[in-house]
Structure 1
Amino acid sequence: MDRWTPKRMKYLKRRLGLNPRTILDVGVARGTPTLYEAFPNKRYLLIEPLDVYADAIEMIVENHHATWIRKAAGAAPGNLQFHHDVAKPALSSFHDKTPLEGSSGDVRTVDVEVDTLDNIVASTSVRGPFGLKIDTEGHELDVLRGATNVLKDTEFIVAEVSVSRRFEGGYAFSEFIAECAANGFHLVDVLKIAPNRLDGPPPKFMDLFFAKKRWDADATGG
């Protein structure tokens, strides 16, 4: 199942009346074209610590009203050890992987500067309302916990949320849902389930869409 598409995002945007001024893309990697197509002409704050993605991110900056912050977002400011997967950098993480997740085998530890999303946003000229995307390989809950003020002016969250135990010491699925709820967000849509096999194991993760507007109560139109 994969509905993480521009068409689906445009539908959610229309159905929920979403109109963010700035999109916060946390864990950019090579970019999030679904968001860029669904929300053109918006301001983008790209948060990605890995220079390996420099060419792709600089292209996004050239083609969109975007700023690249070369830090990681987390629960508190500081420096953390980051496990850089050289062969598959998209699988890089602050957390040790469980056997369920695995890695390419060529993993190098580097120090990465971390700051809260609240601090990062406050240090720039960007303003809300915001849309927030998080894909940080097991660090998603920490990003939320460092974004208390930003979330007050955020219309929606799209996040890759771990379901199975992919990372040592990682959050439980229910913890992420509870943190979203504590900040006023409702689960609106399941965009992707991976893997998605009826005869296979439970999913490793889901791409989920949260909004402050409840689908059944506030949304209008078809």
Structure 2
Amino acid sequence: MKRVLLKIMDALVRPFDARVVRNDSDEFRMKSALRRIVGHGVEIDTVIDIGASDGKWSLEAMEFFPGKRFFAVEPLTERETALENLKRTRSNFDYELCVAGEIDGGAATLNVAADLDGSTVGGTGGTARRVTVRTVDAMVAENGLEGPFLLKFDTHGYELPILSGAKETLLRTNLIIMETYNFNFTDRALRFHETCFHMEKLGFRCYDLACPMLRVHDRAFWQVDMFFCRSDSKIFAYRQYA
């Protein structure tokens, strides 16, 4: 009966370019993946949210890391009010308005999209804006942030410069959540398999994923959030399926 109802509901929404899917797709929601971090027993003391937008992801993650410090990095001044409100109501939260990158005190050109969410360093379209660059290592030192760290990237192809400016922090990082892509949409952007290869060189392996997305243009696979833990994690000691 349940299958019949699902088929009927699916037929009703198909004309609107939508589908009804089974509940097991919930396994690929961000909250489900964050819950699995806790289940794996990965030790985290500080979460650094790079490309934090208005802080909603940090707020969601606080449910799974209660009492841990959260530090957000966001280049858009348009997001400051939301971040300041979050700082005012959450004593464990702080932020800095800048681009995370490779050279501390430098500057980068941010292409600001009309919807803000699609803004990209070194991208195309939108309105160009010069923004101060800070390294993750410098911000960690200045703010007294302590590991082990969880680093979350929502940085639209600018991951390599950020990683270059986080060498010391990576030594004390247990987990990285990184938005990865299936297209080289900027000169710096890596495709997801290239990201995995680079992360393995840094000592991290992908063990989970969340939020796969299809692009609007043709419904081709566009991006997915990959979860990387240290290559020597106990997760990889067990090699069987069941």
TM-score interval for Structure 1 and Structure 2 normalised by the shorter chain: 0.7 to 0.9
Q: Which moved more, 1:53-62 or 1:172-181?
A: 172-181
Task: Give the equivalent residue in structure 1 for 2:223.
Answer: 205
1:29 equivalenced with 2:53 (yes/no): yes
CA distance in 1, matches of 2:206, 2:199: 8
- TM-score, normalisation: structure 2: 0.78
CA distance in 1, matches of 2:228, 2:29: 13
Q: Considering only CA atoms, is the larger Rg found in Structure 1 or Structure 2?
A: 2
Task: Give the equivalent residue in structure 2 for 1:100.
Answer: none
Deviation at 1:192, TM superposition (A): 2.1
Give the secondary structure class of the aligned counterpart of 2:67.
coil
Q: For the structure 1 residues 169 and 42, does the alpha-carbon distance in structure 2 shift closer, same or farther, using more than 3 Å as the test?
A: closer
- TM-score, normalisation: structure 1: 0.84
Q: Report 1:47-196 matches (<5 A).
A: 47-64=73-90, 65-77=92-104, 78-85=106-113, 87-97=114-124, 107-195=126-214
Give the secondary structure class of the aligned counterpart of 1:204.
strand
Deviation at 1:194, TM superposition (A): 1.1
Q: Which moved more, 1:62-71 or 1:152-161?
A: 62-71
Higher relative contact order (CA closer than 8 Å, sequence separation 6+): 1
Residues matched between the structures, number = 208
Deviation at 1:166, TM superposition (A): 2.0
CA distance in 1, matches of 2:79, 2:94: 14
Aligned AA for 1:9?
Answer: L
CA contact (8 A) 1:193 1:205 kept: yes
CA contact (8 A) 1:141 1:176 kept: no
Give the secondary structure class of the aligned counterpart of 1:40.
coil
CA distance in 2, matches of 1:157, 1:4: 16
Unaligned runs of 5+ in 2: 1-24
RMSD: 2.4
Q: Deviations over 1:156-211 (max 9, x none)?
A: 000101221222443343332122112211101121211189x942x221111111
CA contact (8 A) 1:162 1:206 kept: yes
Give the secondary structure class of the aligned counterpart of 2:128.
strand
CA contact (8 A) 2:215 2:222 kept: no
Aligned AA for 2:185?
Answer: R
Unaligned runs of 5+ in 1: 98-102
Deviation at 1:51, TM superposition (A): 1.1
The structure that is helix-richer by fraction is 2
Q: Deviations over 1:128-161 (max 9, x none)?
A: 1111101011112221121111011011000101
Which stretches of structure 1, 4 residues or longer, exceed 4 Å deviation after superposition?
Answer: none
Identity of aligned residues (%): 26
Give the secondary structure class of the aligned counterpart of 1:90.
coil
